Structure 1
Amino acid sequence: MKRLFLLVFTAFFFTLSLHAQQPDDALKLGWFTPNGSARNLALGGANASLGGDITSNHINPAGIGLYKTNEFVLSPGFNLNNNNINYLNTKSSLSKNAFAYGTSGVVFGFPNRYQGGLASTAFSISLTQLASYNNHTYYKGSNNYSSYSEKYVEELVRDGANETAALQNYVFGSSLAFYTYLIDTTLNAAGQLSGYKSLVPVGTGIEQERDEDTKGGLHELSFAFAANAADRLYLGLGLNIPILGYNRDLTYTERDLTNNADNNFGYFTYKENYRTNGFGVNAKLGLIYKLNSTVRLGFAFHTPSFMQLTDKQRTEITTNTENYAGIVKASSDEFNSGNAGEVTYRVTTPYRAIGSISFVFNPVEETRKQRGFITADIEYVNYRGIRYNVLPENSGDFEGVDYYKALNDVIKDYYKGNINVKVGGEIKFDPWAIRLGGAYYGSPYADAALSANRIMASGGIGYRNKGFFIDLTLAQTFNTDVNFPYRLNDKANVFAEAKNNRSNIVATVGFKF
């Protein structure tokens, strides 16, 4: 009854914020495979020296400098996800499909009718989906080494929390675990509080089950300008607004494997709804230089995105401790006056640097008479450069400052910079074109034991005639990654080996005007 009284007291007097960002959340903003128009996707996302595609806005804005006419582009798409996960030698699979889209927008080309070094200029507005978060993963396995509940024990012991603090200061996790008796006190010989313990009987084995359904995406609105100097040097600048919308519904359960009704544990279930929304700003600048009519070189630099995000979270824990306290349920809404936990913060995403080369076959001025090309991009991304910070007006929030400093330190240790490679080619049979491409994205993890990469293979066809064009592409991405159901400080963390196969179908329709 003491715990119930404190719960009611807390609900009247506390409306708390949260700091719930994890190292895994950082990768949503940096580690994603190519997207764009169907043509660009078919080329493996390689476009930094090729140009002539609206997706250049989001890769190398100098590429729109090749335009001398106006163009409208629309790129609807569809994603098919298949997940196969191995957790503690137990395999699970699940799939989810969702609508998507590639780069869509408009390009305005302005040829210079007068003699001079500036042959033309171009301006473009476009929207693209950098990353899709629409997915559903599920896995389970038997564990006699650790429990999710131990992270609550670590938190309470670390803070030296007394019983009152344990019930009211951690309303999105540890307080719920303590109230439902998933976590209980330990007493010294004098009967005084000496610490906390989990009632989960890890030593005799537990079944762990995790189900996560995610929705949303990372989108980018781009305003790009490019100049064409003598049809040889192209310079471009893009100002962009990244827009993030993310929703996660998570259910995590641990069950006793012994069926012993007298060991004070039957199961516990943790449920969470987590939403992130926000936007930011970044810049992209680049150049394309034609060494001759056949060879093109490209370079682009993407500044970090400076974003302001808002997280909202609701959590719930149900615990069955059998004869000890029975089934007890508690939610963050009860502890937090019916409000979701909410926090607004700043994020700086990784910068990117891209170098590229293209070879054009039969390089005549009239592109429809060209026979094809081969192009390749190499890209460096500094994943460990992701940074979280409180808002400037919250600089006095020392708890938040300390939390983000610790999180940033973990990110610096946990991730590394790495190289991504994208290649593609096209053969033309006017008015048709056939395209093939591929991409390899290296692991962002500093620990070599965490096997992760992303490999994409793509192919497509295109038709162009009298100012109208339509392209169709199928891109197959093979993602190898790891998923941590929880993280502990005092022992090695268990993780699931995840393999995701994503089919991305994109059609691009456009016309010149």
Structure 2
Amino acid sequence: MKRSLLSAVLVFLSIVAAQAQDETDALRYSRLTSGGDARTQAIGGAMGSLGGDVSAMSVNPAGIGLFKTNELTITPGFRSLNTDATYYDNQASDSKSSLFLQQIGLIFASNPRRKNNDSRWKNVTFGLGVNRLANFNRSLYYTGTIKGDKSNFSSYSDNYWLQLQGETDLDGAQDNYPFGPSQAIRTYLIDPVLDDNNNPTGDWAALPSDIISNGHPLEQSNSISSKGGINEFSLSVAGNYDDKLFIGASLNIPSINYDRSQTFRETNTQDKNSVLNYFDVDNSLHTNGVGINGKLGLIYSPQPALRLGAAFHTPTVYTLHDTYSTRVTTSTTDQGLLTSSTQDITDGYPGEYDYNLTTPWHALASVSYLFNDGVDAPVHGFITADYEYVNYAAAKYRFNRDDGGSGLGGATAKDQADALNRSIKDMYKGASNLRLGGEVKFNVMAVRAGVAWYGSPYQDSNVKGDQLLYSGGLGYRNGGFFADLTYVYNREKDEDQPYYVTANDAGIPSPQPAALTSGGSNIILTIGFKL
């Protein structure tokens, strides 16, 4: 294909790309955990008022004001995640394991001011580090059989069929829709309807839709593998006023790296009149980008045993870049096995798109109680709790490339972003997150436990989207060296929508979502040094 032909389809690329981002992507990049080192995760991530830990930079930066010495930590981790899925009453499961770097942190604590200094500001502390806030490593598989008619069930190919309606340029149709419809034509999954004179009517026929219309079942399966995460670099500063009030702020640069590969298959199991055996749609997506946000916090200690904390995280503004492609493979009794990909049509170039996403602000309140703190007793410890509120409905897209009204229905990129943002508001809501933990320390050893509950972000109360984490760990501190080991088990319910039927004037329904139940185990190890 000539380079000029690639330029000719750029307008279409912008239209499709604007639709490639959806509500699920917005939630994925908005729903974060506190992350942190092994000690913080052992107490459920509740670091809003406790302080004295490098993880405070990501939760309440005022917490680093409690440091009296310099500190260096490194935290690797191992994760194993199993997901059970139910789709049209069929059950399946898949699992994935991975190693990752959870955190690196460095604290610079200035020397306390001299006693004869009149200022009640004791010292200033600086911190920098990288913390993983989201882990996208996951494998998911589900399968189910649909049977009925077009008023109740749909095919993945229906979106291609809808995009092609009214198209009479048969040669152009094989090149101008490089993210599915053109590949479906090239592999004979979809064919034009001709009149008696062999002229195109603008109507098209799709083999899977014919099977459904004839009342025969189709077996659908979806296999998704993803990897990557969100890592946040933080530069923090905190001040200590009279050992009672600690005020902190951080400038944070989160980076997103996300890879997803999906294979959706539909198989003809009973219709002997159809030539279709099965077809696969392989979609690949790579998203990367950076954002910026700020975090402000304070911790007030009215008495040595009590600490109260509050923090506010500004919205994160991301600049993101997507690279994506589609491959369609069709197996029929008359044509055999045929395959066509985006790169076959665009001279080896995938689709690309740049856009902005703003994720919601966070507000946090916290309380900690320390027992035997500073007292010569054999046992010391604390209990701590955080409450966090996140308004997931506040996530917003902004698409950078405007198509001048050439989108579906004459919509501009701004129109499409506005429609998607309204859908986000309709689908999601504000949610509360609770984190609770504690520690008991015996000389150089410590025992910790915690629990965290992340509320469902969905407006629909029938969608189970909450997440529950249980954690426990051990710690060793002796002189200038310390080591912490933590185990975290998380249980989560969610849904996965295999596809949506869009631009739909024919009333074709989207499929029901797959119900997901995930169980994951994280093992986190922190090695630290007092410098």
TM over 0.5: yes
- Give the secondary-structure state (helix, strand or coil) at the position aligned to 2:30: coil
Query: In the superposition, relative to structure 1, how do residues 370 and 279 fare at CA in structure 2: closer, same or farther (>3 Å)?
Result: farther
Determine whether 1:168 maps to 2:171.
no
- Counterpart of 2:161, as a letter, is V
Report what 1:284 is aligned to. 295
Percentage identity across paired residues of the two chains: 39
Determine whether 1:359 maps to 2:360.
no
- Give the secondary-structure state (helix, strand or coil) at the position aligned to 2:276: coil
Query: In the superposition, relative to structure 1, how do residues 237 and 73 fare at CA in structure 2: closer, same or farther (>3 Å)?
Result: same
TM-score by length of 2: 0.89
- Counterpart of 1:295, as a letter, is L
- Give the secondary-structure state (helix, strand or coil) at the position aligned to 1:378: strand
Looking at structure 1, the residues matched to 491 and 414 of structure 2 have their Cα atoms a distance apart, in angstroms, of 38
Determine whether 1:241 maps to 2:253.
yes
Report what 1:387 is aligned to. 396
Report what 1:372 is aligned to. 381
- Give the secondary-structure state (helix, strand or coil) at the position aligned to 1:222: strand
The CA deviation string for residues 113-151 of structure 1, in whole angstroms up to 9 with x for no partner, is 234210111000010111111111111111122211112
- Give the secondary-structure state (helix, strand or coil) at the position aligned to 2:57: helix
The CA deviation string for residues 2-57 of structure 1, in whole angstroms up to 9 with x for no partner, is xxxx9999568545453311221112211233421000000101110111110000
> Conserved in 2, the CA contact under 8 Å of 1:33 and 1:454?
no
Report what 2:43 is aligned to. 43
- Counterpart of 1:483, as a letter, is D
- Give the secondary-structure state (helix, strand or coil) at the position aligned to 1:204: coil
- Give the secondary-structure state (helix, strand or coil) at the position aligned to 1:40: helix
Report what 2:62 is aligned to. 62
- Give the secondary-structure state (helix, strand or coil) at the position aligned to 1:36: coil
TM-score by length of 1: 0.92
Looking at structure 1, the residues matched to 154 and 238 of structure 2 have their Cα atoms a distance apart, in angstroms, of 56
Report what 2:236 is aligned to. 224
Looking at structure 1, the residues matched to 521 and 369 of structure 2 have their Cα atoms a distance apart, in angstroms, of 29
Looking at structure 2, the residues matched to 196 and 7 of structure 1 have their Cα atoms a distance apart, in angstroms, of 28
Determine whether 1:254 maps to 2:236.
no
Looking at structure 2, the residues matched to 375 and 116 of structure 1 have their Cα atoms a distance apart, in angstroms, of 31
Query: In the superposition, relative to structure 1, how do residues 225 and 128 fare at CA in structure 2: closer, same or farther (>3 Å)?
Result: same
Q: Using the TM superposition, give the Cα deviation of residue 91 of structure 1 relative to its aligned residue in structure 2, in angstroms.
A: 1.3
Q: Using the TM superposition, give the Cα deviation of residue 440 of structure 1 relative to its aligned residue in structure 2, in angstroms.
A: 0.7
Report what 2:409 is aligned to. none
- Counterpart of 1:422, as a letter, is R
> Conserved in 2, the CA contact under 8 Å of 1:12 and 1:337?
no
Q: Using the TM superposition, give the Cα deviation of residue 348 of structure 1 relative to its aligned residue in structure 2, in angstroms.
A: 0.6
How many residue pairs are counted as aligned between the two chains?
501
Report what 1:95 is aligned to. 95
> Conserved in 2, the CA contact under 8 Å of 1:76 and 1:101?
yes
> Conserved in 2, the CA contact under 8 Å of 1:248 and 1:273?
yes
Q: Could you list the runs of 5+ residues in structure 1 that have no partner in the other structure?
A: 1-5
Q: Using the TM superposition, give the Cα deviation of residue 220 of structure 1 relative to its aligned residue in structure 2, in angstroms.
A: 0.3
Root-mean-square deviation (CA), in Å? 2.3
Looking at structure 1, the residues matched to 374 and 404 of structure 2 have their Cα atoms a distance apart, in angstroms, of 62
- Give the secondary-structure state (helix, strand or coil) at the position aligned to 1:403: helix
Q: After superposition, where does 1:89-128 map in structure 2 within 5 Å?
A: 89-110=89-110, 111-113=112-114, 114-128=117-131
- Counterpart of 1:24, as a letter, is T
- Counterpart of 1:438, as a letter, is V
The CA deviation string for residues 183-227 of structure 1, in whole angstroms up to 9 with x for no partner, is 333467996525334320123111111111111111000000001
Looking at structure 1, the residues matched to 440 and 245 of structure 2 have their Cα atoms a distance apart, in angstroms, of 25
- Counterpart of 1:63, as a letter, is G
Looking at structure 2, the residues matched to 257 and 8 of structure 1 have their Cα atoms a distance apart, in angstroms, of 42
Q: Which moved more, 1:282-291 or 1:193-202?
A: 193-202
Query: In the superposition, relative to structure 1, how do residues 255 and 357 fare at CA in structure 2: closer, same or farther (>3 Å)?
Result: same
Q: Which moved more, 1:49-58 or 1:8-17?
A: 8-17
Q: After superposition, where does 1:45-444 map in structure 2 within 5 Å?
A: 45-110=45-110, 111-113=112-114, 114-144=117-147, 145-157=153-165, 160-164=166-170, 166-186=173-193, 193-200=201-208, 201-202=211-212, 203-258=215-270, 260=272, 262-323=273-334, 326-364=336-374, 371-391=380-400, 394-395=401-402, 398=405, 399-444=412-457
